[in-house]
Chains A and B, each alone.
Chain A
Amino acid sequence: MADPRVIVVGAGPAGIRAAAALVEAGLVPTVIDEASRSGGQIYRRQPENFTRSYEQLYGTEARKARALHTCFDALRHRIDYRPETLAWAVKDGRLHVQSGMTAEALPYDALVLAPGATDRMMPIPGWTRPGCYSLGASQIALKAQACAIGEKVVFMGTGPLLYLVACQYMKAGNAPVAVLDTTPFHRQLRGLALMAARPGQLVKGARLIAALRAGGVRVVRGITPREVTGGEAGVTGVRYADAAGRTFHVECTAVGIGFHLRAESQLADLAGCVFAFDPAVRQWLPAIDAMGRSSVANVYLAGDGVRVLGADGAETSGKLAAQAVLADLGRPQPEDRTRRLLRDMERHVRFARGVARAFPWPHDKVAAIPDETLVCRCEAITAGELRAAVTALEAPEVNRAKAFSRVGMGRCQGRFCGLASQEIVAAACRLPVEKAGRLRGQAPVKPLPIAVTDGGSHA
């Protein structure tokens, strides 16, 4: 086949490594990225007029960040690079994109989706107050803007990012007031055997927690979030219960919240990929083979957008997806290289299983949030209204409950309420979460300006 059209969505660790492998094989892939600069979120680049070093920005991961950025900079003029471009739908073998006020439908022979992840969120009373951000946002404020989200910060939730962001704030001279983890310590130990698949990462994680303790940061495990307190002007504190049920209030001016990550799987959904429920992370994820092939013949999935493995796993999965693309286009790849990547991948998957076990999504706490909690930030809809869609209107599953309540239908398209709403609806239906339906993706996956015009497709 002459010059196959390959599109890569996302210019983070997975997308960059996929694009690099395709270029190495002599192709000129199109790379669509919503950001203005490549790198994705974890290796996000600071604005060009900022001067902090790689070591300051990325700590122990500085070498990897530099390698990835250097890799992309070498590619930039050998690909059809489209920054500040949103991929908003996949339909009839075309990827629909928008940039500025122009929309286009791009045909492809192979599509590699590497759209990344966002924070998985548990709705907490008061989480819409000014000063309350996701953990991802807390990290972006620091890395990309050299700002803390507040002077006195509490980080709450669970997962590796909780400790990483807390440490990064401490190193930047804005040590958090407290780190509140919903996972009890004994539970965290349960992930150790699997996490030993990557001893280096495990040691780095242990060092983060030790550094926080040494820096005098209060770390409390096994908590239940009760409320982000404050008024019209914003956050004034966090109320939580400890493992024994005693309630405490910590004063602060900002809160960063997150419960590990969720895959941005909407485009895979729109492409028609088959999904399967993964009980380890309690998420519906697109099914893939070991190389990243989805159930749709020319759609390949890589990085945290298909399953959360972290940045190193994303790089490996990007390389593998590119190998699959090339093999399927009739350009077989060296077998030893594929075997090596597959072996790497096994370690990443094993480690990620350990992380999921060590920092579980507190689904029982999510299902039990008080009725007055806003679940939907976009349209200010409460848990009570969502439950009423099941109890009063007899919605038998999440999509019907969404239609009745509009939870998941707002401008974030369920990114921040979807997983919580599945737990709440399942509990109200008295069903296991995997029996309560899967929230379907809708186009556009993000809002488009109404004045967008058709820039013509390459039909």
Chain B
Amino acid sequence: MQARFRRLAEKERRAVVLTVDGEAVRALEGDVLLTALMLSRGFARMSEFGDGPRAGFCMMGACQDCWVWTGAGERLRACSTSVAEGMDIRTHVPEGIWPIPA
């Protein structure tokens, strides 16, 4: 996959490092998760219906097409969740978690 977003301004912010599917991803404080994902791997999640990757759509919390998970199984909307240092983000539902917290 490839970066799809392009940063145009506000580049002088503090760096934040999170992990996405175990790989380190560098973002800037104030980025939402979707921005961090679209500047690194270019997608947010896989469609559960086998039609390929999805990368969000509305960026305003309405379409629910940017769901990601934390390592602990919490479901997040990538468009409306800010990045934080050390976040452990998964683009697939983590297996073996019960009860499902979200």
Contacts and interface: CB of A to CB of B under 8 A. Distances in A.
A416 B13 CA distance: 34
B6 to A, nearest CB: 5
Contacts of B7: 146-147
Given A174-B6, A233-B2, A416-B63, A49 B101 contact: no
B91 to A, nearest CB: 12
A136 B58 contact: yes
Interface in B45-60: 47, 49-60
A412 B52 contact: no
Given A233-B42, A377-B65, A172 B102 contact: no
Contacts of A412: 62-65
Contact of B9 (A133, A146, A235): A146
Contact of A136 (B11, B14, B60): B60
B6 A151 contact: yes
Interface centre among B2, B7, B30, B61 (most CB of A within 10 A): B30
Nearest to B75: A449
A130 B65 CA distance: 11
Contacts of B11: 146
B100 A450 contact: yes
B35 A141 contact: yes
A375 to B, nearest CB: 13
Contacts of A235: 4
B39 interface: yes
Interface string B3-17: 011111111011000
B42 A234 contact: yes
A420 to B, nearest CB: 14
Interface residues of A, number: 58
A241 to B, nearest CB: 24
Interface in A115-169: 118-119, 128-134, 136-137, 140-142, 144-151
Interface centre among A34, A150, A234, A235 (most CB of B within 10 A): A234
A232 interface: yes
Contacts of B14: 49
A132 B46 CA distance: 15
A438 to B, nearest CB: 20
A132 B57 contact: yes
Contacts of A450: 99-102
A143 B37 CA distance: 18
Nearest to A34: B61
B54 to A, nearest CB: 6
A133 B55 CA distance: 9
B102 A145 contact: no
A67 interface: no
Contact of B63 (A140, A174, A377): A377
A46 B31 CA distance: 10
Contacts of A377: 54, 57, 63, 65
Contact of A234 (B55, B62, B64): B55
A451 B74 CA distance: 10
A37 B1 CA distance: 32
20 contacts: A49-B29, A51-B10, A128-B52, A131-B42, A132-B55, A132-B57, A136-B58, A147-B6, A147-B7, A147-B38, A149-B4, A149-B38, A172-B9, A234-B1, A264-B62, A377-B57, A378-B65, A380-B49, A410-B64, A446-B64
